[in-house]
Amino acid sequence: MGNALPIAVRHLSKAYGAVSVLDDVDLDVRPGEFLTLLGPSGSGKTTLLMAIAGFLRPDKGSIRFGEQEVVRLAPHKREIGMVFQNYALFPHMSVARNIGFPLRLRRVPAPEIARRVEAALEMFQLGGYGERSITQLSGGQRQRVALARAIVFEPRIILMDEPLSALDKQLRERMQIELRQLHDRLGTTTVYVTHDQREALTMSDRIAVLDRGRIARIDAPRAIYDHPGSRFVAEFIGESSFLDVEVTDGICRAAGSVVRAPHVPVARGRCVMMLRPERLRILDGSESEAMNRFDGTVQSAIYQGDTLLLQIVLADGSPVTLRMATRGDDAPPPAGGSPIAVGIAVGDTVLLADEGRTAA
């Protein structure tokens, strides 16, 4: 539909008293992009979204939609489709009147409203629900109505504030795919807020990780997952175990082993090694790549259906977690207390500067 407008945020700041919730934020959302703002609560992600929507007046900064400066524009003039966490459907209106609301405001002729509402209902598998009351709908259906209402007037930009957080896990995962497909079809620039890292990885073109009112990292999901760049981002996206690394004369030691890595962030001193559970393997001597090897003891094995989790304590007492896919013909998992050798390919080994800041 050609609604591919870039958003440019510059020097956006907002403080409540001495607490800075947005600290000189710069952000570029590319035309047609699905960008997710990810961060723990209090990181400023919702504040940033609300500033883009116009519901929050920043202390300073610039927000541009394409060529237009909007930082002082009232929200109802911004032409934004917004989806709220609790759907924000009007309880005193039917499904069809909810969806038709933005069209009536734009003085679209009644027959055209009826046609477009009907088309939107069909698009979201809500055919025949037009006259229902909002209270008669399930959570998933309400979510669809909220989406239909937000896109029916072909907004320039779509903003979503944790729209799936009220749904149960299965429905949430299905809606993630549906939302992404919807975005691919419409091509509208979308900014999405979530605290769920898996959701962010599933849906986004790029993820901006926020930390204390600043953007800690912005990149494509895969790049962020594999190379988080800081311990905070590594902890926030995906699971990991961390090992303290001692660097002396270019040699890295962790948990009693000498380790190698493609990139060492410090010349000497301390850094941390990120171990993704699914990248860690049990070593049996058949590995073809160069591996960093650690010896340890199995503490417990947890069967989770699709995967098996091994809690392992390394020689120096550091706990690490190993995740492996299960198969029908698996040998029984190693018993608690048995010795084990695990390793991670040198190519997968990520060392991060230890900035002493954790996500927890």
Partner 1 sequence: MSAPALNLSRDVDGDFHAAALRRDHWRERLGQAALAAPALLLVGVMVLLPVGWLFGLSFQDDAGAPSLEHYRRMLAEPSYGRTFRTTFEISLATTAICILLGYPLAYFLSQLPRRAANLCMIAVLLPFWTSLLVRTYAWLVLLQRSGLINTWGMDLGLWSEPLQLVHNVGGTLIGMVHIMLPFLVLPLYSTMRGIDGDLLRAASSLGSTPAHGFWSVFFPLSLPGLAAGSALVFVLCLGFYVTPAMLGGGKVTMVSNRIANDIELFFNWGAASALGVVLLAITLVVLVLAARLSRGAGLFGGGH
Q: In the complex, which residues of this chain contact partner 1 (CB under 8 A)? A: 53-55, 74-76, 78-82, 84-86, 88-92, 101-102, 105-106, 135, 149-150, 153, 159
Which of 96, 261 has the CB closer to partner 1?
96
Which of 72, 92 has the CB closer to partner 1?
92
The Cα 323–Cα 278 span in angstroms is: 5
Spell out the residues 6+ positions from residue 185 whose beta carbon is closer than 8 angstroms to its own: none
Which of 37, 49 has the CB closer to partner 1?
49
Asked if residue 4 lies in contact with residue 31, where contact means CB atoms within 8 angstroms, the answer is: yes
Asked if residue 152 lies in contact with residue 113, where contact means CB atoms within 8 angstroms, the answer is: no
Asked if residue 240 lies in contact with residue 204, where contact means CB atoms within 8 angstroms, the answer is: no
Number of other CB atoms surrounding residue 95 within 10 Å: 27
The Cα 48–Cα 44 span in angstroms is: 6
SS3 (DSSP) at 174: helix
Number of other CB atoms surrounding residue 167 within 10 Å: 18
Q: Rounded to the nearest whole angstrom, what is the least distance from the CB of residue 213 to partner 1 in the complex?
A: 22
Which of 136, 358 has the CB closer to partner 1?
136
Helical axes 95-105 vs 139-151, angle rounded to 10°: 20
Which of 101, 232 has the CB closer to partner 1?
101
Q: Rounded to the nearest whole angstrom, what is the least distance from the CB of residue 84 to partner 1 in the complex?
A: 5
Which of 52, 350 has the CB closer to partner 1?
52
Asked if residue 180 lies in contact with residue 65, where contact means CB atoms within 8 angstroms, the answer is: no
Asked if residue 34 lies in contact with residue 204, where contact means CB atoms within 8 angstroms, the answer is: yes
The Cα 162–Cα 25 span in angstroms is: 21
Length of the chain in terms of residues written: 360
Which of 155, 228 has the CB closer to partner 1?
155
Both tokens assigned to 185: 């079809």
Q: Rounded to the nearest whole angstrom, what is the least distance from the CB of residue 78 to partner 1 in the complex?
A: 8
Q: Rounded to the nearest whole angstrom, what is the least distance from the CB of residue 38 to partner 1 in the complex?
A: 21
Tokens 């919730």: give the residue. 21
Q: Rounded to the nearest whole angstrom, what is the least distance from the CB of residue 36 to partner 1 in the complex?
A: 19
Which of 77, 222 has the CB closer to partner 1?
77
Q: Rounded to the nearest whole angstrom, what is the least distance from the CB of residue 17 to partner 1 in the complex?
A: 14
Q: Give the number of C-alpha atoms closer than 13 A to the C-alpha of residue 308, restricted to the C-beta side.
A: 18
Q: Rounded to the nearest whole angstrom, what is the least distance from the CB of residue 174 to partner 1 in the complex?
A: 24
Q: Rounded to the nearest whole angstrom, what is the least distance from the CB of residue 80 to partner 1 in the complex?
A: 5
Both tokens assigned to 212: 């204390």
Nearest C-alpha neighbor of 28 from the set 219, 165, 176: 219
CA 9 to chain centre: 20
Residues forming beta bridges with residue 8, ordered by sequence position = 28, 64
Which of 105, 290 has the CB closer to partner 1?
105
Q: Rounded to the nearest whole angstrom, what is the least distance from the CB of residue 176 to partner 1 in the complex?
A: 22
